[in-house]
Amino acid sequence: MTKHQQQPASFLERLIFNNRPAVILICLLISIFLFYQAAQVRPQTSFEKMIPLGHPYIQKMLEHRNDLANLGNTVRISVEATDGDIFSKEYMETLRQIHDEAFYIPGVDRSGLKSLWSPSVRWTEVTEEGFAGGEVIPQTYDGSADSLEDLRSNILKSGQIGRLVANNFKSSIVDIPLLESYPDPNDQSKLIKLDYQKFSHELEDKIREKYEAQNPNVKVHIIGFAKKVGDLIDGLIGVALFFAVAIGITFVLLLWFTHCIKSTLAVLITTLVAVIWQLGLLHTLGFGLDPYSMLVPFLVFAIGISHGVQKINGIAMASGEATDALSAARMAFRQLFIPGLVALLSDAVGFVTLLLIDIGVIRELAIGASMGVAVIILTNLILLPVVISYIGIGNRAVKKSREEAAKDHPVWRAISNCAHPMVAPISVVVAVVALAGGVWYGQNLKIGDLDQGAPELHPDSRYNLDNDFVIRNYSTSSDVLVVMIKTGPEGCSTYDSLAAMDELMWKMENTEGVQSAISMVTVSKQVIKGMNEGNLKWETLSRNQDVLNNSIARAEGLYNADCSVAPVLVFLEDHKAETLSRAVGAAEEFAALHTTDELQVVLAAGNAGIEAATNEVIAASETTMLIAVYAAVSIMCLLTFRSLAATLCVILPLVLTSVLGNALMAFMGIGVKVATLPVIALGVGIGVDYGIYIYSRLETYLRQGMPLQEAYYETLKSTGKAVLFTGVCLAIGVATWIFSAIKFQADMGLMLTFMFLWNMIGAIWLLPALARFLINTEKMRAKA
């Protein structure tokens, strides 16, 4: 009779297995409710979920949102004339129709919509009689050759070249500001949240496809946060396909491992039940799936399969000693429930640490992953053994398990040498060298984006090609850092305020990575020059307040209603981490020197300001999060094993994996950002399962008096083979992501594949070597 047969049944075991029909009925009722909820889950996201709302930059941006017209969430449509330039009747008519079409798309802030057809886009010139001006496209425009020539002249005098009109006159832009929520057309008292996927499809259907088909001489380019997110959400369909592929691969490998169709289907079905429960709980609590939390169902599936394999392996081994399926299931439950529970609680606690990061999508990912782990406790630790107690393990699988237990395994015998007194020191030295190399190379790891455009998408994606077109043809890029000059009412037009803005613009324009900067000073200088016969020496700020007041009257949109806030728009070459750091550093330095009681230099708005804030939050949270993850997992291990040495044996291989993971990210040119930061914590959370299962079984054999190497050999024959199978199986499953059309999911697939494999290798190779130095086997036997 084995040790586990001798152990009395716990209260929980009796409660579960003495009431098996009730357990299945309760799970069935829960499944019906949560399956219905899961069917209603829809992709969703929002602008505010993607940004760190607690960061001072974001708080200031939201505080002055109404003062910063069109500087928040915008989409830019560049309409290109593929043959000739924009000065043709057909092109201008197409541009007008696109402007009008965009005006009526739900979610557009119509008051801020701007293109050459907007009445607010005007030209100004100095004549002998003073200033003259008007709409760039006047009411008299009729598409004739003369009116097109007038249009060319007006554009040249409008100051919009490089902004709304390309430098080569072959394209122009429709600038579309968006509303996060907008009134319901059927009930103006209700607000509808902007649906990014639907909005993106409207841009494609109503603008790109429609007008490219209507006018073959026109090509449409669309960029902006909403378009990028819409493309990411569309990519979720591909992710669902990868999920199906992962299920198929897992089924084949499970069948090969178990030699039993019944147990294979039991593991797969209970794990899929866990995934659906998790999705149902998400919807029940008011959450949806966004491009970043799409990772969670894969993680739940991976963790569920990991624990399911351990359960089936344990039941198959127990079947060789038990008289029936119920006894085998109870024996395996008695042996594996506590290690499985500890591993899952360690996962959950590790995932919860992601709540420390003040970014909505990461916090939702943490909540979703934690809920997924919670349901696995019910489905894979409780429901699966109960199901197996009814259906049993196939005779072929039981026979195979008995043969495996009886015969010697040369492969496992060879791997058990990792615990040999001669091999263990070599393994530890290799691990230390790898750790040192990983730490050294990991210094190259950067925070934030490392590429132009949208790094979440592949460089050859349509969005990034569109973004590249805009960067190449316009002087004002899509990456804008907005620095706000804040004064008292009517204070932004004083000489001191304008002089400070002028100095800030000079400083920013002389900062590497900055294309240009504009503010109300830009307009003021042009007007003052114009009032003095266009003489260049007068292109400066006047100390006469009346002159200044008159000069800024035409700076529409560059100051708020009471002239207490005036933005300085800094256009950057890109939003790479280094570019943002330099630009923000220069602005911060200027703010520290020039902020007074009367004048405050406030950072920051614009998409570059938002990304700079996000980078700062991630940089500040990365170390804290890792410390919290390891602290939480270590505490769980200490509580379980009541041994610091055992805890170190489990944790140190995970540390090595984390360090090598950072080095891999640096080597692959993957920055630490919203998409990749959670993978680091999730890798630790999932990897700890391997170590806990192996050490708990190793400890059992050591307490029975076996030498370390022999105890480890027996561990490999039982739990070790399940760990090896799980690591390889899950790595193959997530490796399919590498072929995703969404680059950040391909990056996550690569990182998770590496972490699954290296956590498994660390548990099998390094854990026994550490045990050779840290575990006092004599003391353990004495306690037993």
pLDDT in tens, 398-432: 777 666 666 777 888 888 888 888 998 999 999 99
Tell me: do 393 and 428 sit in the same domain: no
CATH number (domain holding residue 648) = 1.20.1640.10
| 399 and 300 within one domain | yes
- Which tops the pLDDT comparison, 686 or 751? 751
- Determine, yes or no, domain membership for 778: yes
- Please give the share of the chain, as a percent, with pLDDT higher than 90: 11
How many CA atoms, within 13 angstroms, populate the side-chain half-sphere of residue 717?
20
pLDDT at residue 136 tops 80: yes
Of 359, 381, 407, which residue constitutes the final position of a domain? 407
Gyration radius of the chain's alpha carbons:
32
Candidates 759, 645, 782, 772; CA nearest to 710 is 772
Domains: count for the chain? 4
Q: 154-170, pLDDT tens digit by residue? A: 888 887 888 888 988 99
With helix as H, strand as E and coil as C, how does 573-631 read?
CCCCHHHHHHHHHHHHHHHHHHCCCCCEEEEEEHHHHHHHHHHHHHHHHHHHHHHHHHH
* 700 has pLDDT over 80: yes
pLDDT tens-digit map of 557-591? 788 878 888 888 888 887 788 888 899 999 999 98
Cβ of 582: how many Cβ atoms within 10 Å? Answer: 16
680 lies in the same domain as 564: no
The pLDDT score that the predictor gives to residue 564 is 85
764 shares its domain with 707:
yes
pLDDT at 780 over 60: no
pLDDT score of 258: 80
Of the listed ranges 268-272, 471-475, 510-514, 685-689, the least confidently predicted one is: 685-689
Is it the case that residue 390 has pLDDT exceeding 80? yes
CB contact set of 451 (below 8 Å; sequence gap of 6+): 459, 576, 669
Q: Which residue has the higher pLDDT, 403 or 510?
A: 510
Domain for residue 629, yes or no? no
Model confidence at 71: pLDDT above 60:
no
Tell me the mean pLDDT in the region 101-114.
87
Contacts of 428 (CB under 8 A, 6+ apart): 766, 769, 770, 773
Confidence of residue 4 (pLDDT cuts 50, 70, 90): very low
pLDDT > 70? residue 718: yes
* pLDDT reported for residue 303: 81
- In this prediction, residues 108-116 reach a mean pLDDT of 86
Is 637 a member of any domain?
Answer: no
> Is pLDDT of 3 > 50?
no
Which residue stretches of 235-324 are H helix? 236-258, 261-284, 295-319
C-alpha torsion 316→322→327→330, nearest 10: -50
Domain end point (choices 211, 230, 249):
230
Residue 396 has what pLDDT? Answer: 75
Full domain range(s) for residue 484: 56-63+480-572+575-612
Bond prior to 604 in cis (omega within 30° of 0): yes
171 & 99 share domain = yes
Tokens of 347: 């996962």
Q: Do 287 and 361 belong together in one domain?
A: yes
**pLDDT of res. 2:** 46
Helix 261-284 vs helix 360-378: crossing angle, to nearest 10? 140
Enter the pTM of the model: 0.78
Which residues are CB-contacts of 611 (< 8 A; sequence separation ≥ 6)?
448, 449, 575, 580
Tell whether 379 and 292 lie within a shared domain: yes
Domain contains 468: no
Decide if 624 is inside a domain: no
Asked if residue 318 is part of any domain, the answer here is: yes
User: Residue 89: is its pLDDT beyond 60?
Assistant: yes
Same domain membership, residue 116 and residue 221: yes
Band of pLDDT at residue 95, cut at 50, 70 and 90: very high
* Residues 78, 222 within the same domain: yes
- Determine the pLDDT at residue 70: 52
- Output the six-digit token pair for 722: 């399940």
Burial-class residue 130 by CB neighbours within 10 Å (0-12, 13-18, 19+).
exposed
d(CA 567, CA 458): 33
Cα angle for residues 375, 346, 280 (degrees, 5° grid): 20
Cα gap 695→647, rounded to integer Å: 9
Residue 1 — pLDDT band, cuts 50, 70, 90? very low
**695 located within any domain:** yes
Q: What is the pLDDT of residue 776?
A: 65
What's the CA gap between 569 and 517, in Å, rounded?
5
Residue 437 has pLDDT above 90, yes or no: yes
Confidence of residue 729 (pLDDT cuts 50, 70, 90): confident
More confident residue, 129 or 603: 603
Q: With 70 as the cut, is the pLDDT of residue 606 above it?
A: yes
In 442-585, where do the E strands start and end?
Answer: 480-486, 514-518, 565-572
On average, the pLDDT of the chain sits at 83
Checking if the pLDDT of 433 tops 90, the result is yes
pLDDT of the residue at 320? 67
Domain boundary among 213, 230, 247: 230
- Pull the structure tokens for residue 328: 């085998």
Does pLDDT of 344 surpass 50? yes
738-750 pLDDT, tens digit per residue, is: 887 778 778 888 8
The verdict on 402 and 418 lying in the same domain is no
**Judgement on whether residues 384 and 367 belong to the same structural domain of the protein:** yes
The verdict on residue 147 lying in a domain is yes
Give yes or no: residues 297 and 425 share one domain.
Answer: no
Residue with tokens 């026994």: 768
